[in-house]
Amino acid sequence: MAEFPDRCGPEDRILIAGIAQGNHEAFQRLMGRHLPFVLALAQRLIGRRADADEIAQEAFLRVWTTAPRWRQDGEAQFRTWLYRVVVNLCLDRQRRPKTAPLEDAGDVFDPRPDSLELVAASETERLIARALDELPPKQKAALVLCYYSEVSGAEAARILEVSESAVESLLVRGRRGLRQRLEAFAGIKRMET
């Protein structure tokens, strides 16, 4: 099991110490601070909310069980460690055999007046998610971390356990691959109409 990083922000450090002693309130506060980012990261990497929820639960279970082994004298940040755990859980999930998600059963009719705009936005998101899913996992993770989770290149490098120049390379190749896939999807759409 992964070790906690050696250093985190002052408030996170206090909360981790409380969690190590079994303090449920400290755990709730730490989870409240980081859950939105964990869910957003997992959902961007996995593409399905239910799977993102499960990954977030597993990540915070690891926080709870690993807190007693926390070391406070190093240089990594708690958020970096937590994001690394989430990315690794997502990569593990992607390696499993895939089952068809419920979303593939068909689109739901939206009776609201602005449903055309919602459908267009949903289609755009679906195409982007589909294009992201076709990228190699490390390229996808780099794009999601840097563009959707607002993580710096340096922090993305620590999360992915690669150099900053490797992150830049992953981003360049990922953007190129994403653009090519989206252009191909657009060509297919034009041919269908």
pLDDT tens, N- to C-terminus, the chain (193 residues) = 444 444 456 788 888 888 888 899 999 999 999 999 999 999 999 888 889 999 999 999 998 888 887 665 555 577 888 899 999 999 988 887 666 666 665 665 544 546 666 666 778 788 888 889 899 999 999 999 998 888 899 999 999 999 999 999 999 999 999 999 988 877 765 555 4
Token pair recorded at residue 11: 């408030």
Q: How far apart are CA 40 and CA 74, in angstroms?
A: 28
Angle at 20 between CA 17 and CA 26, to 5 degrees: 65
Q: Where are the domains of the chain?
A: 1-97, 112-193
pTM: 0.61
Instruction: Note the pLDDT of residue 99.
Output: 63
Decide: helix, strand or coil at residue 72.
coil
Give the distance, in angstroms, between the CA of residue 117 and the centroid of all CA atoms in the same chain.
26
| Nearest of 44, 38, 25 to residue 132 by alpha carbon | 44
| Nearest of 72, 75, 79, 1 to residue 35 by alpha carbon | 79
Residue given tokens 């499960």 in the structure block: 54
Give alpha helix (H) positions in the chain.
10-20, 24-46, 49-66, 78-95, 115-133, 137-143, 153-160, 164-192
| Nearest of 177, 180, 143 to residue 160 by alpha carbon | 143
Q: How far apart are CA 135 and CA 147, in angstroms?
A: 15
Pick the CATH number of 1-97 from 1.10.1740.10, 3.30.70.940, 1.25.40.10, 1.10.260.30: 1.10.1740.10
Instruction: Note the pLDDT of residue 6.
Output: 40
Q: Fold identical between 1-97 and 112-193? A: no
* CATH 1.10.3720.10 correct for 112-193: no
Q: How far apart are CA 135 and CA 181, in angstroms?
A: 9
Instruction: Note the pLDDT of residue 108.
Output: 58
| Nearest of 141, 149, 151, 150 to residue 174 by alpha carbon | 141
